Amino acid sequence: MPSLETTVHGLKLPNPFIIGSGPPGTNGNVIGKAFDEGWGAVICKTISLDASKVSNVQPRYARLRAKDSREIIGWENIELISDRSFDTWVDELKQVKDKYPDRILIASIMEEYQQEAWVEITERCQTLGVDALELNFSCPHGLPERKMGSAMGENPEIVEEVSGWVNAVAKVPVWAKMTPNVTHIEEPCRAAFRGGCEGVSAINTIRSVLGVNLETLRPEPSVEGYTTPGGYSSRAVMPIALRMVMEIARVIRDEYPGHTLSGIGGIETGHDAAQFILLGADTVQVCTGVMKFGYRIVQLMCQQLLAFMEKHGFETLGDFKGHSVRYFTTHADLVQRQAMARANKKGTPDKKVIQDDAEWRGDDFVDQSDALARG
């Protein structure tokens, strides 16, 4: 019988589904709701020592819908980290751990580029009994002038330095949450590992402008007629997240064995989670999916992931973690493999599929494009 139980850096989770840092973990009440519904772990909304600098606006979300079904496929937010005082979080995190002593609670933390602040928040959070820390190096908007969030995560030297400050005093596992708003996500990941982090989480939201309202001619979400670029999430970002998860997984496999990866980006089903795990994720995080469907979504995701495992004969998550990473190669290698297959008559060219650019025809362009696609 397949099992979803997993252990990551000594943390025992009943399943790999984690509430990602954001509104679904914004206070003790909703964190408790997540545990009651069966989530494997919860990462609270990012906290800092001084919440007075945090002031959110309304509205702060904009959504992209599919043309026909009206399904929400893209979600932009301009939300900041928690606006609740650190003292309030101290009380609520203690209460959560008292009520759910065997469940995994992770504190997401963010500070300015000051060693004293990072050391203080690390030491104070771990005394509350949280099971791990996640360093927010990746929020794409808000407070960049203070070198917070992705302003740190885009600089590998700063990532390594700050990770080192935290890990010098940390007594619990530390993950670094990575920004996708870089050319090569491998570099800041390597920096986090060099700084002592046991794991990384990827990806955070993608810096974006969701669109412009063609009636008002104002970009969305409109706050008194104005806006700012925000973070893009939901189904539309999953292909980008999968690519970056695969790239990080190869770094872990080849250079940092024993380190871990928590995959994030558009996950809404157990089938989505299976893809992230096949590409090297140890756990998966969900944030926007909860905002769309509620906390109970985890029950269906668990059922779907178990069904996938049973279908393929996998007993544990480790049986298929990273299985599909081996199938990524270079384009030159793909050309060679196809040529060899055709030479062996294992891949006879389909006459309906164009073989070179001279075969494209204007009247058949859509059909020819369809013939070249999978899915």
Best CA proximity match to 113, nearest among 82, 85, 154 = 154
Contact by Cβ (8 Å): 255, 190: yes
CB burial of residue 138 (10 Å; 0-12, 13-18, 19+): buried
Q: Which of these, 255, 346, 306, lies nearest to 17 by C-alpha position?
A: 306
Which helix (H) or strand (E) segment is 169 a member of?
A: helix 156-169
Question: Are the C-beta atoms of residues 190 and 261 closer than 8 Å to each other?
Answer: no
Based on its alpha-carbon atoms, the radius of gyration of the chain, rounded to whole angstroms, reads: 22
What distance in Å separates the CA atoms of residue 233 and residue 65, rounded to the nearest whole number? 13
Amino acid 218 reads R
Residue recorded with tokens 């030159």: 332
Alpha-carbon span 254 to 148, nearest angstrom = 30
- Annotated catalytic residue, options 44, 125, 139, 302: 139
Active site residue 125: no
Quote the CA–CA distance of 150 and 143 in Å, as a whole number: 10
Q: What's the number of CA atoms in the CB half-sphere (13 Å) around residue 164?
A: 10
N residues, the chain? 375
Tokens of 152: 């740190």
CA atoms of 143 and 62, how far apart (whole Å): 20
Spatial distance between the Cα atoms of 7 and 40, rounded to a whole number of angstroms: 11
- Measured distance CA(298)–CA(289) in Å, rounded: 10
Give the span between the Cα atoms of 133 and 196, in whole angstroms.
Answer: 13
Name the 3-class secondary structure at 262: strand
**CA trace torsion 207, 211, 212, 218 (10° rounding):** -40
Catalytic residues: 139
